[in-house]
């Protein structure tokens, strides 16, 4: 990648403490860095973000809020707005509104989209934050060849290191740097990329040197990690090496080789980069549909509950392909009444990738290729991630395994190796595909990626679905396969065995024609075989000595040799292989088809010019004479040894053969003993491993129990928090106290519903300053009061009223203390005291009224005392009159209203005297009287009643009667007319004297109540009439 051709797209993720980290990052970005920057932070969806304004202070580049479908341009900074997630597609920004308040990982979503959209141009930066957001995003960028960075401690944080620390712990981070150094490091990498292109590492002149350097790197990886990458595709391998060179700002491969030799961590880093591959669920959906339709049903044919279906997924990476196949299998199993047991072996050489696969937890961003039905059926939502269901996980067995180095699985029904062979060279592919053939059952299936094929191995596999790369194992293959039992010997070992060696032939000259004709006509029959006895070349005319056996075709020399020469051929061949020298055997007889005998000499020697590791041997069948009958052949051999030497020769050869067989037997026995010891050792190791696994299982069970306990406690705390939150919400909804919580900037944090009676507030006003809201209260000093509370940490109370004066409130401003006892805001309370204020005003009025009444009462008492003393009346008379006044006061205290009814007052006075029954009649409407009027009128009625008891109609020895009536007369000004009439009383003296009672009636009532009293003596009694206006200031009706 060149700076002249492309620009970088830098995705930046931050959360808590991110402002300081972003400040350090942008202040450290060089002006000449050709890049676009996309910033994603954790935002409150209900609060407007001003991050773009803050970042504009730290960089000269234009900073703007991201707009949907706008292009990503170099030199610009784009900021995620609130209430949305930000991704990219085809070089343009994509905004998606967030739904609900569930957990969202905006940084993972952004970085994953950058990886897909910009590949090697993408850069992932993880800054300060309080969770693991960004971890899966940097993994995606690494998979696509991009650069990853995480913040290391410096002057700009991280204040919350959880996000960068989690990303670093995955091993996918290229640079752990302080925020202000990241921009300069990116620029250095771009310069290093330019230098690599200019120096031309891959130039033709450097090809040989590069091959040597790569050989050393292969050797280092094999020596330190035990994995051989010599079969890896050269271009892919070089690209990964050059990327590591850019990370370390190196200009030559020699420098990088020196680093590998001294830094073991870099060897592991290169190893991880080589293992990174792109994987996803149901990659190439059409191929999985073909697999489900054409292969899966055949795997379960004729199998019941006691049978086992075995599947193998080598190179499983993080498990997406494994679980995709397991889901397809699970769907088919659900339709069976008695499905067989399924074992899905998933292997890889990357332990960290296997850990991810075992966890079976994948972010929502990686679930786009999984249908909604499968997501609901086979996954469990966990925040913004999904966990594979247990019924699918139980089918899968994850294990570390090297496809090239370790022995393969066997009796497999289906091998799925998709998009792994594309990373291997032709030699390793030639080694791996026969291994798949060996691992599969007869008729088993092979599932490859869309860019992979087995066209060079038509004798091993036949095509079932050519378009979707589904193949079936042939059962008639003649290849003799060699399986890996230890570390691979190199790129040439296995392929050389699988294909015949061929020597380059010179040009078509005269000598070539002569040699070819001599070989064809006069050379003995011969074959070329490897050290295992497999024939790799046949000459003509070998039919007399070799014949194909019954059964499956084979190329093994000893199996095809005729039985007469088999023993001699085996002995001679083994002698040549073990000694390395030529070996011959003369006088060997072979019986032909017609029963005649051919005597021949066997001659075996190593073929010159071959590799010692892959030696080939030429076997010559040299005829001795013509074909003879058996008797002639025996006579011929007998004449040659008439003196017994021939017999001795045969005995010696037989003895040698026997000795050879004995040695071979002893050697085999020693090998079996060694194998037995190794098996015993392996068994002990397996027992030890089993014990460790049992211990681990117990530990896991203990941890699981602890996790269950902790989970239960956590659920309890969550329930308690939910209840507390519900209680708080209900408290807010039920209270009538208007309370609002403000931070130091007077920004509204929360409030009770009653605040709506004080301010014009809505739910969207959270996050706004309270000074922006309008109110009908007179609170001009509220900002000053809040400032005093922040300064002195003491509450302030004051009263305030509404603009129309109808409502009254008690305003209280108190400090808001956080969990660390620091004042982090204020609590403003508005208590409605309108009723209290009105009660206080009424109380003041009642006190004034009480004082007024008390003064009037004392005046009346004073008048009674004076008149009683002046008239020389006794103390008893004073007590009686004060008693009458007391009864009125008692009647006043018993009334709930503000007036006394005339009839109640009259009855109370009459009941206080011993009045005979049937002498009194009372009649009149209800007339309410004020307290002042009642006190004066009561004294007058008391005097009238006392006189009637002593001298008038109510005497015990008389027969008089009393009739009291009253009525209201007039319309514009009502008048109370009360008539007191005593009858049946003889009045001796027609002129009645004026005592205290009459004086009270005629003077006090006229003065105080503007009443008009009148007396009239009649023949049988007396009549008293009192007319009193009702609109008097002391009367209430």
Q: Which residues contact 947 (CB under 8 A, 6 or more apart)?
A: 997
Query: Which of the pair, 321 or 681, is modelled with greater confidence?
Result: 321
In CATH terms, the superfamily for domain 738-832 is PAS domain (3.30.450.20)
Q: Which residues pair with 535 in a beta bridge?
A: 529
If you average pLDDT over residues 827-842, what whole number do you get? 82
Could you tell me the sign of the dihedral formed by the alpha carbons of 209, 210, 213, 215, in that order? negative
Residue 27 DSSP symbol = H
Tell whether the model's pLDDT for residue 360 goes beyond 50: yes
Residue in 1024, 1021, 1017 with CA at minimum distance from that of residue 955:
1021
Run of H or E residues at 273: helix 264-275
For residues 803-831, give the mean pLDDT: 84
Token representation of residue 16: 């808590």
- Six-digit token string for 500: 């015949």
The neighbour count for residue 428, using CB atoms within 10 Å, is 23
Confidence of residue 48 (pLDDT cuts 50, 70, 90): confident
pLDDT digits (tens, 9 = 90+) for 454-513: 877 877 888 888 888 899 998 766 555 555 544 443 333 333 333 333 344 444 457 777
pLDDT band at 896 (very low <50, low <70, confident <90, very high): low
pLDDT of the residue at 994: 55
| Residue 654 in this model has a pLDDT that exceeds 60 | yes
Tokens of 8: 């970088």
Spatial contact of 246 and 174, defined as CB atoms under 8 Å apart: no
Of residues 162 and 34, which shows the higher confidence score?
Answer: 34
Measured CA angle at 380 (ends 377, 384), to 5 deg: 130
Higher pLDDT residue, 278 or 266? 266
Edge-to-edge strand ranges of the sheet holding 583-591: 535-538, 525-530, 616-623, 597-606, 583-591
Per-residue pLDDT at 496: 33
Please give the average per-residue pLDDT across 113-131, as a whole number.
Answer: 87
Per the model's pLDDT, the better-predicted residue between 379 and 974 turns out to be 379
pLDDT exceeds 50 at position 453: yes
More confident residue, 801 or 156: 801
C-alpha 193/C-alpha 691 separation (Å) is 52
pLDDT in tens, 308-320: 999 999 988 888 9
Q: The tokens of 931 are what?
A: 């307290």
Q: Where are the alpha helices (DSSP H) in 542-642?
A: 557-560, 563-579, 630-639
- Strand ranges of the sheet holding 961-969, from the earlier edge strand across to the other edge: 920-923, 961-969, 975-983, 1021-1029, 1012-1018
CATH fold label, 285-497: Rossmann fold (3.40.50)
Give 3-state DSSP helix, strand, coil % of the chain, rounded to 5: 45, 20, 35
pLDDT at position 3: 39
Q: Name the DSSP letter for residue 992.
A: P
3-class SS string, 728-763: HHHHHHHCCCEEEEEECCCEEEEECHHHHHCECCCH
CB-count exposure of residue 465 (10 Å: 0-12, 13-18, 19+):
middle
CB 909 within 8 A of CB 854: no
pLDDT in tens, 575-618: 888 888 888 888 888 888 777 888 889 999 988 765 544 678 99
**Dihedral sign computed on CA atoms, order 430, 436, 439, 444:** negative
Measure the CA–CA gap between 980 and 1015, rounded to whole angstroms.
10
Q: What is the pLDDT of residue 141?
A: 86
Residue 401 DSSP class: -
Q: Higher pLDDT residue, 882 or 502?
A: 882
**pLDDT at site 494:** 33
pLDDT at residue 12, as a whole number:
93
| pLDDT tens by residue, 288-305 | 999 999 999 999 998 988
How high does pLDDT run on average in the chain? Answer: 79
pLDDT(893) > 50:
yes
DSSP 8-class letter at 897: S
- Residue 927 has what pLDDT? 86
Cis peptide before 727 (omega within 30 of 0): no
Among 222-231, 685-694, 889-898, the range with the most confident prediction by mean pLDDT is 685-694
Q: Collapsing DSSP states into helix, strand and coil, what is residue 407?
A: coil
The answer to whether 401 touches 429, Cβ cutoff 8 Å, is no
Give the strands of the sheet with 823-832, arranged side by side: 748-751, 738-743, 823-832, 808-817, 796-801
pLDDT of residue 505: 41
Least confident of 189-203, 351-365, 1018-1032: 189-203
Distance from the Cα of residue 530 to its chain's centroid: 59
Q: How far is CA 267 from CA 210, 240, 256, 454, 474, in A?
A: 18, 12, 10, 33, 41
pLDDT of residue 125: 94
pLDDT of residue 21: 87
Query: Position of tokens 């005979």?
Result: 916
Residue 108 pLDDT exceeds 60 = yes
pLDDT tens figures, 515-538:
777 877 788 999 999 888 889 888
The predicted pLDDT at position 346 comes to 92
Q: What is the 3-state secondary structure (H, E, C) of 584-609?
A: EEEEEEEECCCCCEEEEEEEEEECCC
pLDDT of residue 213: 76
Based on its alpha-carbon atoms, the radius of gyration of the chain, rounded to whole angstroms, reads 57
Question: What architecture does CATH give domain 872-1029?
Answer: 2-Layer Sandwich (3.30)
> What average pLDDT does the segment 791-806 reach?
84
pLDDT score of 857 more than 70: no
**Residue 368: which pLDDT band, with cuts at 50, 70 and 90?**
confident
pLDDT over 90 at 176, yes or no: no
Rounded to whole angstroms, how far apart are CA atoms 167 and 767?
32
Q: How far is CA 675 from CA 485, 685, 702, in A?
A: 13, 15, 39
Residue 1036 binned pLDDT confidence (cut-offs 50, 70, 90): very low
Does the pLDDT at position 871 exceed 70? Answer: no
Q: What residues contact residue 403 under an 8 Å CB cut-off, 6+ apart?
A: 314, 315, 347, 420, 432, 435
Summarised one tens digit per residue, pLDDT across range 955-1013 is 777 678 888 999 888 766 678 888 988 888 776 554 455 555 666 666 667 777 788 88
What pLDDT does residue 878 have?
61
CATH number of 8-199: 3.40.50.180
Does domain 510-639 fall under CATH 3.30.450.20? My reply is yes
According to the model, what pLDDT value does residue 929 have? 83
């Amino acid at each position: 990648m060149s700076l002249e051709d492309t620009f970088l797209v830098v995705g930046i993720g931050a959360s808590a403490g991110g402002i300081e980290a972003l400040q350090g990052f942008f202040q450290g970005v060089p002006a000449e860095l050709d890049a676009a920057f996309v910033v994603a932070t954790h935002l409150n969806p209900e609060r407007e973000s001003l991050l773009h304004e803050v970042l504009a202070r730290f960089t000269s580049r234009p900073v703007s809020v991201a707009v949907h479908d706008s292009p990503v341009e170099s030199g610009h900074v784009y900021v995620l707005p609130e209430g949305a997630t930000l991704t990219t597609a085809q070089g343009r920004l994509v905004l998606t509104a967030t739904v609900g308040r569930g957990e969202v990982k905006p940084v993972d979503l952004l970085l994953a989209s950058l990886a897909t959209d910009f590949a090697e141009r993408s850069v992932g930066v993880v800054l300060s934050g309080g969770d693991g957001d960004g971890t899966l995003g940097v993994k995606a960028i690494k998979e696509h060849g991009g650069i990853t960075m995480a913040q290391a401690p410096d002057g700009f944080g991280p204040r919350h290191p959880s996000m960068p620390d989690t990303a670093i712990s995955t091993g996918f981070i290229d640079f752990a740097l302080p925020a202000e150094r990241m921009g300069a490091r990116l620029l250095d990498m771009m310069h290093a990329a330019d230098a690599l292109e200019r120096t031309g590492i891959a130039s033709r002149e450097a090809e040989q040197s590069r091959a040597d350097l790569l050989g050393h790197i292969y050797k280092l990886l094999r020596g330190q990690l035990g994995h051989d990458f010599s079969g890896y595709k050269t271009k892919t391998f070089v690209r990964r090496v050059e990327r590591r060179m850019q990370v370390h700002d190196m200009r030559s491969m020699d420098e990088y080789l020196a680093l590998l030799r001294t830094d073991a961590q870099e060897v592991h880093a290169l190893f991880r980069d080589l293992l990174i591959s792109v994987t996803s669920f149901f990659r190439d959906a059409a191929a999985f549909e073909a697999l489900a339709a054409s292969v899966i049903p055949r795997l379960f044919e004729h199998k019941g509950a006691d049978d086992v279906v075995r599947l193998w997924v080598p190179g499983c990476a993080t498990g997406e392909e494994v679980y995709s196949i397991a889901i397809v299998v699970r769907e088919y199993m659900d339709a069976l009444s008695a499905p067989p047991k399924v074992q899905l072996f998933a292997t890889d050489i990357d332990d960290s990738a296997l850990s991810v696969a075992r966890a079976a937890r994948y972010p929502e961003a990686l679930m786009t290729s999984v249908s909604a039905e499968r997501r609901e059926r086979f996954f469990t939502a966990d925040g913004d991630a999904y966990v594979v269901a247990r019924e699918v996980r139980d089918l899968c067995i994850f294990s570390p395994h090297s496809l090239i180095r370790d022995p393969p699985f066997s009796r497999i029904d289906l091998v799925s190796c998709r998009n792994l062979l594309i990373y291997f060279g032709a030699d390793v592919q030639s080694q791996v595909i026969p291994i798949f053939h060996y691992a599969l059952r007869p008729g088993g299936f092979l599932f490859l990626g869309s860019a992979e094929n087995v066209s060079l191995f038509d004798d091993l596999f036949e095509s079932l679905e050519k378009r979707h790369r589904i193949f079936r194992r042939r059962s008639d293959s003649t290849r003799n396969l060699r399986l890996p039992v230890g570390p691979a010997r190199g790129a040439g070992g296995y392929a050389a065995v699988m294909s015949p060696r061929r020597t380059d032939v010179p040009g078509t000259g005269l000598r070539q024609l002569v040699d070819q004709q001599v070989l064809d006509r006069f050379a003995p029959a011969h074959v070329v075989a490897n050290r295992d006895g497999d024939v790799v070349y046949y000459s003509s005319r070998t039919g007399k000595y070799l014949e194909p056996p019954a059964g499956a075709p084979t190329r093994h020399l000893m199996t095809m040799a005729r039985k007469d020469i088999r023993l001699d051929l085996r002995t001679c061949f083994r002698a040549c292989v073990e000694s390395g020298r030529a070996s011959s055997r003369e006088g060997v007889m072979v019986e032909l088809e017609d029963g005649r005998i051919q005597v021949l000499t066997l001659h075996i020697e190593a073929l010159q010019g071959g590799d010692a590791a892959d030696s080939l041997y030429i076997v010559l069948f040299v005829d001795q004479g013509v074909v003879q009958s058996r008797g002639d052949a025996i006579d011929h051999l007998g004449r040659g040894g008439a003196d017994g030497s021939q017999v001795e020769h045969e005995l010696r050869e037989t003895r040698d053969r026997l000795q050879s067989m004995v040695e071979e037997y002893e050697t085999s026995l020693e090998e079996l003993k060694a194998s037995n010891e190794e098996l015993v050792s392996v068994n002990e190791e397996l027992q030890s491993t089993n014990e460790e696994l049992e211990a681990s299982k117990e530990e896991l069970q203990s941890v699981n129990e602890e996790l269950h306990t902790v989970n239960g406690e956590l659920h309890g705390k969550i329930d308690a928090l939910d209840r507390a939150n519900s209680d708080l919400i209900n408290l807010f909804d039920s209270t009538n106290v208007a309370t609002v919580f403000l931070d130091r900037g007077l920004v509204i944090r929360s409030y009770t519903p009653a605040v709506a009676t004080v301010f014009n507030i809505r739910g969207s006003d959270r996050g706004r300053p309270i000074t922006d809201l309008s109110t009908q209260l007179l609170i001009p000093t509220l900002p000053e009061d809040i400032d005093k509370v922040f300064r002195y940490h003491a509450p302030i109370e004051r009263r305030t009223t509404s603009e129309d004066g109808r409502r009254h409130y008690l305003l209280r401003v108190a400090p808001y203390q956080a969990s660390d006892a620091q004042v982090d805001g204020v609590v403003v309370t508005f208590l409605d005291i309108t009723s209290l204020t009105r009660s206080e005003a009424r109380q003041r009025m009642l006190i004034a009224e009480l004082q007024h009444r008390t003064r009037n009462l004392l005046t009346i008492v004073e008048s009674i005392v004076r008149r009683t003393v002046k008239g020389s009346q006794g103390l008893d008379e004073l007590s009686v009159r004060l008693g009458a006044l007391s009864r009125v006061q008692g009647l006043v205290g018993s009334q709930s209203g503000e007036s006394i009814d005339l009839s109640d007052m009259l009855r109370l006075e009459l009941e206080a005297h011993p009045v005979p029954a049937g002498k009194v009649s009372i009649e009149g409407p209800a007339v309410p009287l004020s307290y002042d009027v009642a006190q004066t009128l009561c004294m007058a009625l008391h005097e009238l009643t006392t006189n009637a008891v002593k001298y008038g109609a109510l005497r015990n020895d008389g027969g008089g009667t009393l009739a009291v009536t009253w009525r209201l007369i007039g319309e514009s000004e009502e008048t109370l007319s009360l008539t007191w009439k005593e009858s049946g009383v003889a009045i001796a003296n027609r002129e009645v004297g004026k005592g205290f009672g009459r004086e009270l009636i005629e003077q006090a009532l006229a003065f105080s109540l503007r009443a008009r009293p009148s007396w009239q003596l009649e023949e049988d009694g007396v009549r008293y009439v009192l007319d009193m206006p009702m609109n008097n200031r002391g009367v209430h009706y």
